[in-house]
Amino acid sequence: MFPSDAAAPRSRWRRVAVTGATGFVGGHLIDRLREGGVEVLCVCRPTSNRERLERRGFACRVVPPEDDEAWKEMVREVDVIFHLAAATSARTAQDYYRANTELTRRIARAALACPSPPLFVYCSSIAAAGPVPRGQLRTPGTPVAPVSHYGRSKRGGELVLAEVAGDVPVTVVRPGIVFGPGNRELYPVFASLARTRIHIVPGFRPPPLSLIHIDDLVELLWRVAERGARLPPSPSPAASNGPVPRVGGHVPANDQGVYLAGAPEQLDYRQLGSAVAQALGLRYFLTLHVPQPLPFVVAAAVEAWSRWSSQDAPFQIDKIREAAAPSWACHDPRLAKDLHFTFGRSLQEGLEETARWYREHQWL
């Protein structure tokens, strides 16, 4: 329970759709929505494993990603759509754009075709905005320059939504790295330290990172839906068929309706290792810095193997591009000022809770 929960009014929404409900963020968001008294519709792909959701009594709707009519039908039934489904890692650049830009375009068009469009809350990423020079913080209005295909494809999602804004109420949230119980992305840091007491850091000057605990992120998603600003109306025709610009676009310079979601403390990847080691109760561990070209070489070799074997690459050049950026630090003063949002715990407390969860669930 958050200290800020008491201030949040019980929702006036009747029914809310969540794409990506089988994923890490979506799984936590649907719990928060249900706690808030909202009827949740989990929107899944035909291939999604819905068993866990259905076992827990969540209603699921299967919508094939390319079925425009099914999207139109779904959006008509809800007051809010939280669009979280995304490819966070993919084999090819096209897979990122298909999952993150084109799917968002389809849902945006479906919402646009609706007589009374639902509120559209888009879970983007700090990667869509891109890094900032070392020593600086990204704040609302800092120019956008994504460095990875993942980031550009999420930015593409923001831009197609900016095109329908005005006709469709849209708010965008750009989280930093999300962690917490059940998270698989930061799990390797915990696992490596717990098993080998070694923390491997790409480069000698790793970028400061913005992190956010999952409970903070779902609370923030709730709050932006309840009382966040919306993107201003687009000056260009809605949901055009044209190509999505890779950078730039007309998301307003002051980032109205776009929120940055990162905890007030920033850790670089080396400091993150120390914080995780502390969370695991390790007194001694080794930090190994790997000179910067090496991770690129290894990722290229892993990707070549992945293409040859048709297996997913666990280590990708796209992610190394992000890891080699100068800084991912961000701060959005509007979270406190406009949304009355406070972070529920320190990063260290969140990492300790996460370590406990991994242990209790025998992941470590």
Question: Is 300 near ligand NAP (CB under 6 A)?
Answer: no
Q: How far apart are the first and last CA of the chain?
A: 26
Cα distances (Å, whole numbers) of residue 150 to 88, 91, 219, 269? 7, 11, 25, 20
Cα distances (Å, whole numbers) of residue 198 to 82, 193, 271? 38, 5, 13
d(CA 62, CA 46): 6
Question: Is 125 near ligand NAP (CB under 6 A)?
Answer: yes
How many chain residues bind ligand NAP (CB under 6 A)? 24
The site string for ligand NAP over 183-202 (x = CB under 6 A, - otherwise) reads --x-----------------
Question: Of the two residues 85 and 355, which places its CB atom closer to ligand NAP in the complex?
Answer: 85
Among 2, 17, 20, 170, which residue interacts with ligand NAP (rule: CB under 6 A)?
Answer: 20
* Three-state secondary structure of 16-75: EEEECCCCHHHHHHHHHHHHCCCEEEEEECCCCCCHHHHHCCCEEEECCCCCHHHHHHHH
CB of 284 to ligand NAP, least distance (A): 29
Question: Is 103 near ligand NAP (CB under 6 A)?
Answer: yes
CB atoms within 10 A of CB 289: 15
| Closest by Cα among 12, 37, 47, 40 to 26 | 40
Question: Is 351 near ligand NAP (CB under 6 A)?
Answer: no
| Closest by Cα among 85, 261, 233 to 173 | 261
CB of 116 to ligand NAP, least distance (A): 25
Question: Is 85 near ligand NAP (CB under 6 A)?
Answer: yes
Among 2, 16, 26, 251, which residue interacts with ligand NAP (rule: CB under 6 A)?
Answer: 26
Stretch that binds ligand NAP, among 56-64, 78-86, 163-171, 317-325 (CB under 6 A): 78-86
Question: Is 151 near ligand NAP (CB under 6 A)?
Answer: no
The residue ranges that bind ligand NAP (CB under 6 A) are 20, 22-26, 45, 47-48, 65, 84-88, 99, 103, 123, 125, 154, 175, 177-178, 185
